């Protein structure tokens, strides 16, 4: 069993939880994820490790409440435990060699996954800019945390209610056109956001890493659920990713495959919703 030692609501649909998980905390690297089950009947759900404290033996996960399993997890409180936390899974992020200037881009809850990347780059002496995008001011997360681990934070909202008005791609394009030089870009967020960042960075020939979120089942390379096409080749995101060269990813196929169970997911959400005022 894995005990929750801290729970904090970051916005109406995003929750942070810190778990006692000493073995994972000792080994996990930026870019890696865990698979949790709330209870023995629960489905297996992947979440990226947002932070780890090897001394305390804890890991922090940040999740958006989107469906049945994330609602069940969110219903737990400090002191409660979950059945399983398996990990660390996947490959740690590997930057291209000799990166001196990087731009880390997070969209929505993707900022939770972008945070450890920014922190690792900044701590390793890489000049790190962060562009964090949200639909509106009320759902902004991790602003203070990002400020501590980057050279410049550009916060954008689609509706202009906070920070710069517009999409992360607008902010990135403006910076590049104004002379900012990036050796690499890391983009993590909704699939369409990652696709459009990659279309932009391709024009400027900037190597771009994305963290993919296909549907995962076993997380060990056995079931094929997380199959993605990268550079015309089939890759398994749970063991070969989740990070890939964004210029090679078939994003349209990923979007299509992620919709496979939408009807059943909607039905489950309707069934569970009664218990969650934020769903
Ligand atoms: C490597 C990886 C890391 C992730 N990290 C985070 C994170 O740090 N924070 C976060 O909020 N979300 C993260 N996700 C997405 C998260 O796994 C889904 O939101 C979660 O599975 C939803 O489950 P549900 O039962 O609550 O919702 P459901 O109603 O079952 O599904 C809602 C949506 O979540 C996705 N989803 C459902 N089941 C799975 C599954 N088994 N594997 C992957 N996606 C699924 C689908 O796109 C679906 O449309 C990550 C996904 C992957 C693959
Ligand atoms: S989740 Fe089964 S092969 Fe990747």
Compute, in angstroms, the gap from residue 37 CA to the centroid of ligand 1: 12
CA of 251 to the centre of ligand 2 (A): 18
Given a contact cutoff of 8 angstroms between Cβ atoms, the answer to whether 209 and 246 are in contact is yes
Within 6 Å (CB) of ligand 1, which residues are found? Answer: 33, 45-48, 62-64, 66-70, 109, 112-113, 213-216, 242, 258, 262, 265, 268-269
Q: Is 86 in the pocket of ligand 2 (CB under 6 A)?
A: no
The bound ligand whose nearest atom lies closest to the alpha carbon of 257 is 1
Q: pLDDT per position in the chain (279 positions), as tens?
A: 899 999 999 998 999 999 999 999 999 999 999 999 999 989 999 999 999 999 999 999 999 999 889 999 999 999 999 999 999 999 999 888 889 999 999 999 999 999 999 999 999 999 999 999 999 999 999 999 999 999 999 999 999 999 999 999 999 999 999 999 999 999 999 999 999 999 999 999 999 999 999 999 999 999 999 999 999 999 999 999 999 999 999 999 999 888 776 777 667 666 666 544 444
> Ligand 1, atom 40: nearest CA belongs to which residue?
215
Cα 182 to middle of ligand 1, angstroms: 30
Residues near 154 by beta carbon (within 8 Å), at least 6 away in sequence: 129, 130, 131, 132, 163, 164, 171, 175
Instruction: For residue 248, give the DSSP letter.
Output: G
Residue 216 Cα, ligand 1 centroid: separation in angstroms?
A: 8
CATH architecture of the domain with range 101-258: 3-Layer(aba) Sandwich (3.40)
Q: Supply the DSSP string of 98-155, one letter for each residue.
A: T--EEEEEEETTHHHHHHHHHHHHHHTT-EEEEEEEESSGGG---HHHHHTT-SEEEE
Q: Which helix (H) or strand (E) holds 45?
A: strand 45-53
Distance from the Cα of residue 226 to its chain's centroid: 16
Q: Is 273 exposed, middle or buried (0-12, 13-18, 19+ CB in 10 A)?
A: middle
Instruction: Report the predicted TM-score, pTM, of the whole model to 2 decimal places.
Output: 0.91
Shortest-distance atom of ligand 2 to CA 216: 1
Residue 84: which of 73, 75, 71, 97 has the closest Cα?
73
Distance 69 CA to ligand 1 centre (A): 9
Q: What is the pLDDT of residue 272?
A: 63
Q: What is the DSSP-derived secondary structure letter of residue 246?
A: G
pLDDT at 271: 65
Cα–ligand 1 centroid distance for 151 (angstroms): 31
pLDDT at residue 75, rounded to an integer: 96
pLDDT of residue 101: 97
Distance from C-alpha of 114 to C-alpha of 77, rounded to nearest angstrom:
26
Q: Establish whether residue 223 lines the binding site of ligand 2, counting it when its CB lies within 6 angstroms of any ligand atom.
A: yes
Which numbered ligand comes closest to the C-alpha of 221? Answer: 2
Cα of 211 to ligand 2 centre, how many Å?
Answer: 15
- Could you tell me which CATH number the domain at 2-89 has? 2.40.30.10
Residue-level pLDDT at 257? 83
Write down the pLDDT at residue 273: 62
Sequence spans of domains, the chain: 2-89, 101-258
- The best mutation among 33, 65, 66 to test binding of ligand 1, ranked by most ligand atoms within 8 Å of the C-beta, falls on 66
Task: Report the SS3 class of residue 165.
Answer: strand
Round to whole Å and give the CA distance between 234 and 236.
Answer: 7
pLDDT value at residue 109? 92
């Amino acid at each position: 069993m894995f005990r929750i030692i801290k729970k904090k609501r970051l916005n109406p649909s995003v929750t942070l939880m810190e778990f006692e998980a000493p073995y994972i905390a000792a080994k996990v690297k930026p870019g890696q994820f865990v698979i949790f089950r709330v209870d023995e009947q629960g489905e297996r759900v992947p979440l990226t490790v947002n932070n780890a404290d090897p001394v305390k033996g804890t890991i922090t996960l940040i999740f958006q409440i989107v469906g049945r399993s994330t609602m069940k997890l969110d219903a737990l409180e400090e002191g409660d435990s979950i059945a399983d936390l398996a990990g660390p899974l996947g490959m740690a992020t590997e930057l291209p060699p000799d990166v001196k200037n990087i731009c880390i881009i997070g969209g929505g809850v993707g900022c939770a996954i972008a945070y450890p990347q920014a922190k690792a780059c900044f701590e390793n002496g890489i000049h790190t800019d962060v562009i964090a995008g949200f639909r509106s001011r009320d759902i902004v997360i991790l602003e203070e945390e990002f400020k501590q681990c980057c050279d410049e934070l550009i916060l954008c909202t689609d509706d202009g209610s906070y920070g710069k008005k517009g999409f992360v791609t607008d902010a990135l394009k403006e910076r590049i056109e104004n002379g900012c030089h990036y050796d690499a870009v890391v983009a993590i967020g909704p699939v369409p956001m990652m696709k459009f960042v990659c279309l932009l960075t391709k024009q400027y020939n900037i190597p771009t890493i994305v963290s993919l979120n296909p549907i995962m089942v076993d997380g060990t390379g056995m079931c094929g659920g997380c199959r993605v096409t990268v550079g015309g080749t089939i890759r398994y995101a749970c063991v070969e990713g989740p990070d890939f060269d964004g210029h090679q990813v078939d994003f349209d196929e990923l979007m299509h495959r992620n919709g496979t169970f939408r009807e059943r997911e909607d039905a489950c959400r309707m069934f569970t919703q009664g218990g969650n005022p934020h769903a």
